[in-house]
Every structure is written in C-alpha cells, then in structure tokens.
Structure 1
Amino acid sequence: MALETPTIKQLEYFVRLAESSTFRGAAEQLKISQPTLTAQIYNLEKTLNLTLVERSRSGATLTPAGRDLLTNARQVLEEMNGLLDQAAMMNHGPGGTFRMGVSPTIGPYLLPHILPGLHQTYASLKLFVRENTPKALELDLLEGRLDLVLISQPFGTPRLTTEVLFEEPLKLITPEDHPLAKLERVETHHLRGQNILTLEEQYSSYHQMELLCSELGATIARDYEGSSLDALRQMVIMGMGLTFVPSTYIYSEIHQPQGLSVRDVENLNLHRTLVLAWRQNSPNRGFYRQLAELIRSLVKTNLSDAKLSF
C-alpha cells in the first residue's frame, strides 16, 4: 500500500491526460506548462508505485494499470466536486455550474420552456448545455464529462439513474397533398406500404420506427435517414415519405404547417419517454431529483397544450 496519498490535483492532471492523449494537449487545457504536468504525473506514479502512462513521440497511452485506475480517479474527483457543491448549497442554496447533455431532438424544443424557470428558482445555478447523439451523451455521462443528461428512453446502464419527466405522443406528418391528409380519420392499416422517414440508426426512435414498420407493413426509407427533425420535416414537404415527430417539436416548430398535415393515427399508442439521467453514485443525486421535479412542474405549466403525460 502506498505510504503517501495522491493529491486531487494529481488525479485531475491524470484524468485530463487520459482524455487528451498528449502531454502538450493536456497541459494547454489545464493552463499549465508541460514540464509541470510531466512532473506531477511522475510524482503520482511514484506515490502509487505504478507506471500509469506509456510515453512516446506520438503521445501518451495508458498502461493496463492506468486504465484500471482511471475510473477510480474520476470517482474521487466527482466526490470532491460533489462535496464542494454540497457545501456551496448549504451556504448559498442550490447553485454552481453543472454540465448537462441533451439530445438534439429534445434540447431546442424543450429547454426554452424550462431554462427561464430554472434560473428563476435557482438564481446561482448555471447549466453548461451540450448537444450530442444519445450514445455519445451516455459515454460522456459515464466517464464524468457530463453531470446529467436529458434524453429519451431506452437509455442507461446499471451505473446510471433515470428519473422519468414525461411521455409525449409522436404524431404523423404527411405532405398536405398526400391521400392520407384528406382522410377524416387515419387508421393503422392506412400505413401499409407507406414509405416512413426516420432519424439515423444512432437514435432510439430509429428502432422504434423499425418495429412499427414491421408490424404495420410499412417501409423504412433507409436511403434517406434524417440527421435532425428539421431534415425529416423538409423531406416530407418534398414528398419523399411520411414521418412521426414528437409533439414538443410540433408545438415549437409547426405553428402554421405550410406544406404539411399533422395527424393522429387511430389506435396507435406511439410515444417517447423523456428522462433526466445521472450517475448512480453521484454526490449530487439528491439535488438532481429536485431538479427533475422542478422540470416536470415547469413542463406542466409551460407546455400544457402539447398533450404530454406525467
């Protein structure tokens, strides 16, 4: 067992080096000199009596021991940050800076309705918001680059905790001159043989649409997968197919659906479930549950016309 204890700063330098893969890049991010970083990593290795980093001209690569200890180092830093955040909350109420990830199919259509209310309730709270794909957000959350994530299910591993915020229906949109747009009622059998546009496979809705098409005899337009909800909308207007989009998107973006028809499909319970997620052992998990409850309350008030379920 090591006779000395690594410092928090040494662990921070080690984690940043692991993420950067080069001493120069990590030193620039940490705003310290490269010799200082090198010395601190050496001292950490000496304290632990382990070689953590393989040095080469091409960069820095973690040894097996370094990879094994990286998760523990991140957890120690998270606990320390959580201690400081908790102390700040005790002194001044909830506040500080938290890094929140959001899916691009959620953030632009939900955040404008909740961020003002969050700021009003927690004046000293700052949210650094980052958009990314679901898989990237999950990895960033697990590895500590994000504190919490706003995303749709299915999502998560045993190391993550999720708090359900609400469910929202997915509505069918068609070109305004499409035969389905002229029907008084659209039923599931009307979708047989239709071309369904969907987001790329990295989004959970892709698999949802894949299953739906299989059940109803529709076809996924695999050559025209959209990179965003706006892209799907434009492809529908151009007559390339039909698609399903969440009601928060419709509420936010389709006030006057020029070129489009927005329809419900009879007896089709198609929806997505939005959750707030964080690491199971996060020291701020109590506050995150409060945050989830406040978000639910704000959504109920500010998005009452979007027909969401709680």
Structure 2
Amino acid sequence: MPTLRQMEYLVALEDTGHFGRAAASIPVTQPTLSQQLKALEKRLQVKLVERGKPLRLTPIGREIAARARRMLMDVSEIRHLAEQSRTGAVGTIRFGVSPTLGPYLIPPAVVRLHRENPLLRMYIREGIPDDQFAELARGTLDMVLAPLPVAGGGLHVEPLFREPLSLVGAPDHPLHCIDGLRSSDFAGQPVLSLDRRHHFHRQALDICRELGAELMRDYEGTSLDSLRQMAGSGLGLAILPELYLRSETGGEDMVRRFAIEDWSATRSIAAVWREGAAFAGAYAAIAEVIAAEAREILR
C-alpha cells in the first residue's frame, strides 16, 4: 500500500510544480522525493507525473493528489484530537502570517493571548500568503492570518477587520502642494510595490489601474520598510497599510500621506484554518483577540 509520506510528496509536488521546491517544503532531499514518487507510481501501476517542462501531474495524478490531500488533512486532525484528549489544552499553534501584517499587529495580540492563556504556545512564521495557504492545506500550519481573498478549498475563512490604505510620498513631493487633491492628479505617477508573489503587489496593481498611475517593475521592495524608505527618497510613491503607519517601526518620519478628496482604499484581513479542525474553537478565540487588538489600534 502507498505510505502517507508518499502521499505527502505527491501533494507537495502538485502545490509547487517543481521537484526542488517540493522537497524543500517538506523538507526532504530531492533524490529521495523523486525516488519515492517513482516507487509510488510502480506500486499503483499508473503514471502520476509528467516530468517535462513545465512539470505537471497527469489527470490520474491530480485525482489521487486531491484524495491524498483530504487524507493528510484527516490524519493531521486525528493527531490534534489525540493531543487534545491527552493534554486538555491547545498546546502549540503553528501560526502563519503575512509580513505586511504580522510585525505590526501580532506583538500586542501575543501579549494578550499569553496573559489570558499561559499554556498557549505560538510558533509564528512569516511568509507569502499563497504559500502558507498551501501549507495550511497540507497540515504543516494550523492557522494563517492574511489579506483576502484566500486561495484553496477545504478552508474556513473568518473575516476580522478592514484596514485603511494610504498613498504616501516624500514630504517635498509637488503633489502635496495641490489644494483639493483628486485621484486624477496621480495619472502617470510611479508607484512602488512589493514583489509580485505578494497579495499586496496585486492590490497595488489594482489601485494603480484605478488611479491611472504606473506600477514600477524595476524597483520592487522586499518589505514595507523598504517601500517607505524608497518613497521617502523620492524614488516613487508607495501604498502603505494603516497598522504599519501607526507602528513604532513604521510611521511617517520620512513620508507624508496624500489627502485625496475622491479616493480611499482598504484591505480585508481574515483568519484561516482548515474546515473541521479539531481546535476550531481555539482558533476562533485567537482570531477574536487579534481582531480586537486591530480595532483598538485603528481606533
């Protein structure tokens, strides 16, 4: 019979579309992953992987991977149920969060969560939301905090709050001198963003289309700090979230918001966990604490 580990390898390969990235995500060596998938194909007597460029699963490979994904999620929940039965407590939560959000919201939430539940432990990892949703589906993360929309099935999505976004530029930018600034004044203006793997990049692209601005392709930032610093140097404008602008590490020391009369933007933040999760009640309680901290900061 196929092993659970072989099923995990197949799902990882479908998620990444690349042997090296699939091996790194588990983690295991690439030769081991490749050999085990060949062994799985031999055992099942079907071809699961088309090993060309681009790499893809065969139709039967995709069907088996979909069933394997559900099976792995069930096994993960069985383990969680057993842990809950043994300890009576949640234990350690493997928590994924977007780097455009985590550093500016999670610290006060962690303080409150630890105060209210000293037995709760949180293993926190920042990462690209799309990648973390895949990890959530595989069971390597328990819960993710990220902007909407959420990609992937079998997930419970709990909307928490809406966060305002602001367009900022260097304090001496000429547009700051215009009274009654309107969205049409930003036509053709260069706007900085994070690299295209981020949801934040896609939202910045939508905002640029709305304003008629130009998203800069040659100067993609690696963090919100880098966007603020590049905008402060006059390289271009930047779109920054409110929690970042109100944080100790962010702020408006080197940039200034544009007061645009006919434009505003927000992003929606949600907590996500697997449908039917053993600790769904605990995840919902954690999500409510995070939402309450966000509302307090934004107020």
- TM-score of the superposed pair, with normalisation by structure 1: 0.73
Deviations 1:243-269 (A, max 9, x none): 110001111146663332133422322
Q: What is the CA–CA distance in structure 1 between the aligned matches of 2:141 and 2:47, rounded to whole Å?
A: 24
Percent pairwise identity: 33
Secondary structure of 1:124's aligned partner: coil
* 1:181 has 2:176 as partner: yes
CA distance in 1, matches of 2:116, 2:85: 16
The question of whether the paired residues in 2 share the 8 Å contact of 1:113 and 1:299 is answered with no
Deviation at 1:235, TM superposition (A): 0.9
Q: Which moved more, 1:161-170 or 1:143-152?
A: 143-152
Please give the per-residue CA displacement for 1:179-213, whole angstroms capped at 9, x wherever unaligned.
22344553222212321112222222323222322
Tell me which residue corresponds to 2:273.
Answer: 278
Question: How many Å separate the matches in 1 of 2:250 and 2:138?
Answer: 40
1:132 to 123, 127, 134: 127
Q: 2:185 aligns with which of 186, 190, 194?
A: 190
* Cα-Cα RMSD: 3.7
* Preserved CA contact (<8 Å) 2:155 2:274: yes
Give 1:90 deviation, angstroms.
6.0
Whichever residue aligns with residue 290 of structure 2, its letter is I
CA contact (8 A) 1:197 1:225 kept: yes
1:105 to 89, 100, 110: 100
Change (3 A) 1:242 1:101: same
Aligned position for 1:293: 288
- Match among 207, 223, 226 for residue 221 of structure 2: 226
The answer to whether residue 218 in structure 2 is matched with residue 244 in structure 1 is no
Q: Secondary structure at the match of 1:198?
A: strand
Deviation of 1:71 (Å): 5.1
Instruction: Specify the code of the residue in structure 1 equivalent to 2:162.
Output: E
Task: Say if 1:70 and 1:194 are closer, same or farther in 2 by CA, change over 3 A.
Answer: closer
Match in the other structure for 2:158: 163
Aligned length: 277
Q: 1:94 to 1:156 in 2, by over 3 A?
A: farther
User: 1:77, 1:17 → 2: CA distance?
Assistant: 11
Equivalent runs, 1:3-42 vs 2, <5 Å: 11-15=3-7
State how far apart, in whole Å, the 1-side matches of 2:189 and 2:142 are.
41
Query: Match for residue 259 of structure 1?
Result: 254
Instruction: State which structure, 1 or 2, has the greater radius of gyration over its C-alpha atoms.
Output: 1
Cα distance, 1:53–1:145 mapped onto 2, change above 3 Å: farther
Structure 2 equivalent of residue 117 of structure 1: 112
Letter in 2 for 1:123: P
Q: Would you say the 8 A contact 1:52–1:63 is kept in 2?
A: no
Runs of at least 5 residues in structure 2 that lack an aligned partner in the other structure? 14-18, 49-56
CA contact (8 A) 1:53 1:63 kept: yes
CA contact (8 A) 1:170 1:246 kept: yes
Distance 1:124 1:15 in 2: 33
Does the 8 Å CA contact 2:76/2:139 hold for their aligned counterparts?
Answer: no
Q: Take 2:76 and 2:199, find their aligned partners in 1: how far apart are those partners?
A: 32
- Please give the alpha-carbon distance, in whole angstroms, between the structure 2 residues aligned to 1:250 and 1:224: 21
SS at the partner of 1:223?
strand
Select which of 210, 213, 220 maps to 1:215.
Answer: 210
Instruction: Give matches, 1:4-83, under 5 Å.
Output: 11-15=3-7, 50=44, 69=64, 72-73=67-68, 75-83=70-78
Secondary structure of 2:120's partner?
Answer: strand
Runs of 5+ unmatched residues, structure 1: 1-5, 55-61
Q: Do the aligned residues in 1 keep the contact of 2:73 with 2:138 (CA within 8 Å)?
A: no
Q: Is the 8 A contact 1:138 1:156 kept in 2?
A: yes
Contact (CA 8 Å) 2:229, 2:254: kept in 1 or not?
A: no
| C-alpha displacement of 1:157 | 2.8
Deviation, structure 1 residue 270:
0.4
Shift in CA distance, 122/74, structure 1 to aligned 2, threshold 3 Å: farther
Moved more, 175-184 or 98-107: 175-184
- SS state at 1:176 partner: coil
Alignment-mate amino acid for residue 247 of structure 2: S
Matched residue SS, 1:265: coil
Classify 1:164/1:218 alpha carbon distance in 2 versus 1 (closer, same or farther; 3 Å): same
Question: What does 1:81-92 correspond to in 2, within 5 Å?
Answer: 81-86=76-81, 88-89=83-84
